[in-house]
Chain A
Amino acid sequence: MQSDATISVRQVIKNYGSFRAVDDLSFDVYTGEVFAMLGPNGSGKTTTIRMILDILKPDSGQISVLGGVITDAAKDRIGYLPEERGLYRSVKVLEMMVYLGMLKGMSRPDARQRSLELLELLELGDHTKSKVSELSKGMQQKVQFAVTVLHHPSLIIVDEPFSGLDPVNTRVVKDLLLSFRADGGTVVMSTHQMWQVEEMADRLLMIDRGAQKLYGRLEDIRQQYALHAIVVEGQGDWAALPGVDHIEHNGREGTTLYLKPEATSASVLAAIATAADMTIDRFELAIPSLNDIFIQVVEDR
């Protein structure tokens, strides 16, 4: 465990009546990383996030955020984008941002200045005086994101940051998240969009029914779920190769060769190389996508 954990969760339990929402959960989020929280709907992600934010209290266990038990001062250093988005509908964009910035400890001029900068950056410079209800859904999402990073937080917790965004705006928000990390910020991201996690996340936690299922570096987890199999493209009778148990044709995705327990990828590669009647265009370990891993974990429960 690294010492510079921005968030440290230890043996946290939270019940709603007789329902256990979070079950003995422990993990760390390190400073300067993008940390993904995954899990099916109702798995306890939002409850965990709310406990980190001190909106809810855990029944037992410890949570330390930004160097200790959360304080009001620490709260001012966190930006939060809840899954259920919310903005005043009939209030002007700039006015609302200034208020929310002030609640996070900014002075009025600072909040105003920074809001204008962010709105400009998000191409909403013409809408500072518009009411939220007059904006398109995508614009509202961007305003919401602007509110999250308004007060120069050092930690942002974003729940489904890309939902409702078109590909262009998804790119805009993604770039902002990555530049936030590049500036030393820490991102906790909860999402169902696995490819976003594969592209952005450094480490991840997957929970199901409130308990930890997967936790660690993205590459390590994928290696851990690597099949004893190889994906190939080329010509030849793959099933006849020594060490191959059975094969599976995946159309344009190539052919998956499932290996016998005693075989290794190296022994199979050597066999292909020495076979006279085989050509090979592609040869790689069959590492499942995060999506496959997610489905496998949930279905195995």
Chain B
Amino acid sequence: MTNHIWQVFAYELQRNLRRKGFLFTTFGIPILAYILFFGYQFISSRSAGGEDIATTITESEQFQGIEKAGYVDHSGLFTDPGDLRSVLSPYANEESAQQAMDAGEIDIYYVFPENYLDTGDIVAYMPRFSIAQATESLVQQLVYAHFAQNVDPILMSRLISPAAINEVNLQRDATGETTTNFDVDFPVIYLFVMIMMISQFTTNGYLMQTIIEEKETKLIEILISALRPTQLLIGKILALGVLGLVQIAVWLGAVLLLAQIAGDVGTTLLFLLNISIPTGTVILFLVYFVLGYLFFAAVYGMVGAISNSMQEGPQFAVIFVLPAVIPLYFMTIFITQPDGALATALSLFPITAPLSMVMRLTISTVPAWQVILSIVVLILTNVGMMWLAGRLFRVNTLLSGQTPKLRDIPKLLRG
């Protein structure tokens, strides 16, 4: 009994691990990202290097493609940019700085508020948001230039972390109406959710494919003359679940490695290192991944059982996939109100729970009871879904050459 499950498991695992599609998504995407990232690094360092800017700036720091920048100082601390004059020009007020940016004289300008020394907050204005230009290094240079000599304890803390850019005005006309909260949270959540979703749908897609392939080629009849359909299904679900975990491990590893390397090179991705994701969150992330995977494994297993072609399967699956990605549409709401009614409701509803909870856990401290409740609800739902999948994944459905009509499905479930 269990022997057959393991045979299916071992076979499906080794077979799917070698799939070109799997190898590409698992290793190709990180490699591609690395190439793009370092290629960009290389090109931007080439264009910035070799010019007189480099010589005027201590420690040959690059400014991520910023050739000219301006600043408006309300704090009264930075009246003279000193050695940085060739790159950084002071402006009396926002209007004149904006005019200079509109005229293309500068790429970006920073505004130091009056309380800069206390908060370290500055506002950066740029015509288009560019993650590469959202850098603190220019400001860092300015601050060093001013305070490097007379170091006192309060100033030292600002020297270590001179700028926490938390607002980026995307508007060219500096009305300041629509400022987007740009936080480190956004890319991290985005990364987590994408990893989870892509992995979940890739592996479950394979699950469905292997089932439909066996139906399409009629091999299914030979298989179920040797083992029970449910043994086949369980073996496959386990194998592809492990495949998903392998994929996640590779991606998370790649991200951490990139953050490490990028940190050394000194780039904006440094933020990843500054965020410590608690071990508990990582474990919960895996728990939600597994529960979400199982839910969709049941769905895709059922869809595979009733579909008779590779074209048909995904069409049925979409019915379940669409509601599951609802949380993505509300990502901004999750970021601004991670514990609001909508976020809470979506994180308790089983289909949307995995993605929603992962988003909330990344940004906020979710009450333990909500985590427990959502896990319990998900487990119960999964038990029910697996039962349904088992009812549908049977001889009558698997050997029938026709796709059942919707009204036949209750009959098939009853058997």
Task: Say which one of B89-97, B219-227, B237-245, B321-329 lies at the interface with A.
Answer: B219-227
Question: Which residues of chain A (33-60) have a CB below 8 Å from chain B?
Answer: 50, 53-56
Name which of A85, A86, A102 has the most chain B CB atoms within 10 A of its CB.
A86
- B1-A147 in contact (CB<8A): no
Chain A interface size, as a band, is 20 to 34
Which residues of chain A come closer than 8 Å to B149, judged between CB atoms?
A: none
Q: Choose one: A84, A100, A104; the contact of B221 (CB below 8 Å).
A: A84
Q: Which residue of B lies closest to A96 (CB)?
A: B219
- A99-B11 in contact (CB<8A): yes
Instruction: Check A80 for interface membership: any CB of B closer than 8 A.
Output: yes
Instruction: Check A183 for interface membership: any CB of B closer than 8 A.
Output: no
10 further A-B contacts with Cβ under 8 Å, apart from A84-B221, A147-B222, are A75-B225, A78-B225, A80-B222, A82-B221, A82-B222, A88-B213, A99-B11, A100-B226, A103-B226, A104-B226
Which residues of chain A come closer than 8 Å to B224, judged between CB atoms?
A: 55
B positions within 8 Å CB-CB of A:
1, 4, 7-8, 11, 15, 213-214, 217-227, 395, 399
The 13 listed contacts between A and B (C-beta, < 8 Å) are A53-B225, A55-B221, A55-B399, A75-B226, A80-B222, A87-B217, A88-B217, A91-B15, A102-B11, A103-B223, A103-B226, A104-B226, A147-B222
Kindly provide the distance from the CB of B230 to the nearest chain A CB, expressed in whole angstroms.
14
- B225-A86 in contact (CB<8A): no
Which residues of chain A come closer than 8 Å to B214, judged between CB atoms?
A: 86, 88
Instruction: Check A246 for interface membership: any CB of B closer than 8 A.
Output: no
Which residues of chain A come closer than 8 Å to B395, judged between CB atoms?
A: 50, 55-56
A positions within 8 Å CB-CB of B:
50, 53-56, 72, 75-76, 78, 80, 82, 84-89, 91, 99-100, 102-104, 147
- B225-A85 in contact (CB<8A): no
* Complex Cα spacing A72 to B7, Å: 15
- B219-A86 in contact (CB<8A): yes
Mostly helix, strand, loop or mixed at chain B's interface?
Answer: helix
Which residues of chain A come closer than 8 Å to B7, judged between CB atoms?
A: 99, 102-103
Kindly provide the distance from the CB of B370 to the nearest chain A CB, expressed in whole angstroms.
44
- A86-B220 in contact (CB<8A): yes
- B217-A80 in contact (CB<8A): no
* Complex Cα spacing A172 to B87, Å: 85
Q: Which residue of A lies closest to B401 (CB)?
A: A84
Q: Choose one: B11, B217, B220; the contact of A89 (CB below 8 Å).
A: B217
Kindly provide the distance from the CB of A141 to the nearest chain B CB, expressed in whole angstroms.
13
Q: Which residue of B lies closest to A103 (CB)?
A: B226
Q: Choose one: A53, A54, A86; the contact of B218 (CB below 8 Å).
A: A86
Which residues of chain A come closer than 8 Å to B218, judged between CB atoms?
A: 82, 84-86
Q: Which residue of B lies closest to A16 (CB)?
A: B396
* Complex Cα spacing A72 to B221, Å: 16
Which residues of chain A come closer than 8 Å to B220, judged between CB atoms?
A: 86
* Complex Cα spacing A54 to B228, Å: 10
- A103-B227 in contact (CB<8A): yes
Q: Choose one: A76, A86, A102; the contact of B222 (CB below 8 Å).
A: A86
- B225-A88 in contact (CB<8A): no
Q: Which residue of B lies closest to A95 (CB)?
A: B15
Q: Choose one: B1, B213, B223; the contact of A72 (CB below 8 Å).
A: B1
Q: Which residue of A lies closest to B219 (CB)?
A: A86
Kindly provide the distance from the CB of B332 to the nearest chain A CB, expressed in whole angstroms.
43
Q: Which residue of A lies closest to B229 (CB)?
A: A55
Which residues of chain A come closer than 8 Å to B227, judged between CB atoms?
A: 103
Which residues of chain B come closer than 8 Å to A84, judged between CB atoms?
A: 218, 221
Kindly provide the distance from the CB of B75 to the nearest chain A CB, expressed in whole angstroms.
67
Q: Which residue of A lies closest to B15 (CB)?
A: A91
* Complex Cα spacing A84 to B222, Å: 10
Which residues of chain B come closer than 8 Å to A72, judged between CB atoms?
A: 1
Q: Which residue of B lies closest to A53 (CB)?
A: B225
* Complex Cα spacing A86 to B215, Å: 9
Q: Which residue of B lies closest to A54 (CB)?
A: B225
Which residues of chain B come closer than 8 Å to A55, judged between CB atoms?
A: 221, 224-225, 395, 399
